[in-house]
Structure 1
Amino acid sequence: MSKTSRNPDNLPALAGQAEGGFAAKVSEAVLDLVSSRPESARQASTLPSEAARAAQSVAQQAAQKAALAAGSLALPPGPLGWLTILPELLTVWRIQRQAVADIAAIYGRTADLGREQMLYCMFRHTAAQAVRDLAVRVGERMVVQPVAAKVMQQISRVVGVKLSESLVRKSISRWVPLAGAAAVSAYAFYDTQRVARTAIELFEGEQIIELKP
């Protein structure tokens, strides 16, 4: 392996070369992720207080699981770390997707969990501009607007570009053994908690699905 590929000082240049292809892969992964809804073994809670406790438990368990998975996959340093970025991302996303499905089930809202709701819950905080029109709060209600497949593809591309820019910058930490893995683990924990909070906010309130002509 050349000295250039082992030198962290050259990482931004390497990142710029890889970012375009990486964004396309992330966009494709986003679209695949939200196109299906995982099954949930959770039962609907009849009392709001029970639902809130169960949802918080799901959030905590998912965050811990995501942190462990992300930290483990981020352990290889240097060039090997590049190879684990997408697998780590997909692993964390699947954990988050299941958490969203479980929270919807707890609130008895599984039937309301479509691709728009899933996309909104998972990427509201990391790609807000891309998903801001999918769900809009009007008073005490959340109005969800279904979109055509072509629009969903466009949104996934924007999300992919936005996330790839952020992820490539953060991947510099992978050149620092252990410390980099700890940072990745901490971020996965925090990110998963935010996804769960968005799902709780969406499904514990009244939701209107606004069909456009």
Structure 2
Amino acid sequence: MSELPAKPDSESFAKRIVESIVGAISRIPTTEMTESPMPDEAARTIARQAALKAAATAGTLGLPAGPLGWLTIVPEMMKVWQIQTQMVADLAGVYGQTACLSREQMTYCLFRHGAAMAVRDLVVRVGERYLIKEVSLKAFQAIAQRIGLKISQRALGKAFSRWVPVVGAVGVAGYAYFDTAQVAKTAIDLFEKGIEPPEPEMKRIGGGPPPLP
């Protein structure tokens, strides 16, 4: 009877996750969506289609079982993040927020629900609107490190589900759907309320009003 291979090295796995995160949000996707007179309805359609696409993509990549299944973990997350970044760009379009969509906003939208502590310093509330802080490359890399550590720990904890054919794929697809829906919820709330341009003193982490709880 063959033995199960050891789990991937957590440090190198986390490093790959961080690299994937930086790659996923280093370039803001373009969108053909323009400001809609009924943005809420358009946003729901965009979110639903993206969640279904993410679920189908993740489920397909989650089909291989055993060691091969572990090899698909990072590619699966990268594909889902690509779908989610495009979704966020499309949502920004229907709310008329394309011009101000930034790396910081994208990071907040993608990881607010799964790594809240890592991204909490990116956003402050100004009345009923949001203000996104612009951060240096060094600060952004530090944020990506914290997100990567959180995500890699969760992914490694679920790695053995890859040994169960079909069942594992169904679980992966379900999580991708849920995860994408949460990203959409964050993005819609952000764009619906509106975004204030950053003040000069808010250009770096540590200045300005306290972060959101």
Q: Distance in 2 between matches of 1:192 and 1:71?
A: 14
TM-score, normalization by structure 2: 0.91
- Map 1:23-102 onto structure 2 (within 5 A): 23-45=14-36, 47=37, 50-102=38-90
TM-score, normalization by structure 1: 0.91
1:137 equivalent in alignment to 2:125: yes
Letter in 1 for 2:14: A
Q: Does structure 2 retain, via aligned residues, the 8 Å contact 1:103–1:199?
A: yes
Instruction: Identify which of 147, 150, 153 aligns with 1:159.
Output: 147
Q: Distance in 1 between matches of 2:130 and 2:159?
A: 35
Q: Distance in 2 between matches of 1:171 and 1:61?
A: 27
Q: Distance in 2 between matches of 1:116 and 1:74?
A: 30
Task: Report the 3-state secondary structure (helix = DSSP H, G, I; strand = E; otherwise coil) of the residue aligned with 2:4.
Answer: helix
2:3 maps to: 4
Task: Report the 3-state secondary structure (helix = DSSP H, G, I; strand = E; otherwise coil) of the residue aligned with 1:44.
Answer: coil
Letter in 1 for 2:28: R
| 1:58-110 residue CA offsets vs partner (Å, 9 max, x unmatched) | 00000000000000000011111011101101000000000000000111111
Instruction: Identify which of 107, 113, 117 aligns with 2:95.
Output: 107
Q: Does structure 2 retain, via aligned residues, the 8 Å contact 1:101–1:110?
A: yes
Give, in angstroms, the shift of residue 188 of structure 1: 0.2
Unmatched 5+ stretches in structure 2: 204-213
Q: Does structure 2 retain, via aligned residues, the 8 Å contact 1:81–1:175?
A: yes
Q: CA RMSD in A?
A: 1.3
Q: Distance in 2 between matches of 1:122 and 1:172?
A: 25
Q: Distance in 2 between matches of 1:18 and 1:66?
A: 27
Q: Which contiguous aligned blocks of 4+ residues in structure 1 show a shift greater than 2 angstroms?
A: 2-6, 136-139, 209-213
| 1:148-179 residue CA offsets vs partner (Å, 9 max, x unmatched) | 11000110011111100001111211111111
Q: Distance in 1 between matches of 2:12 and 2:159?
A: 15
Give, in angstroms, the shift of residue 128 of structure 1: 0.6
Identity score, percent: 47
Give, in angstroms, the shift of residue 18 of structure 1: 1.7
Larger mean CA deviation between 187-196 and 203-212 belongs to 203-212
Letter in 2 for 1:5: L
Write 1 or 2 for the structure with the bigger share of helix.
1
Task: Report the 3-state secondary structure (helix = DSSP H, G, I; strand = E; otherwise coil) of the residue aligned with 1:3.
Answer: coil
Task: Report the 3-state secondary structure (helix = DSSP H, G, I; strand = E; otherwise coil) of the residue aligned with 2:124.
Answer: strand
Q: Distance in 2 between matches of 1:164 and 1:55?
A: 30
Q: Distance in 2 between matches of 1:37 and 1:24?
A: 22
1:18 equivalent in alignment to 2:17: no
2:190 maps to: 202
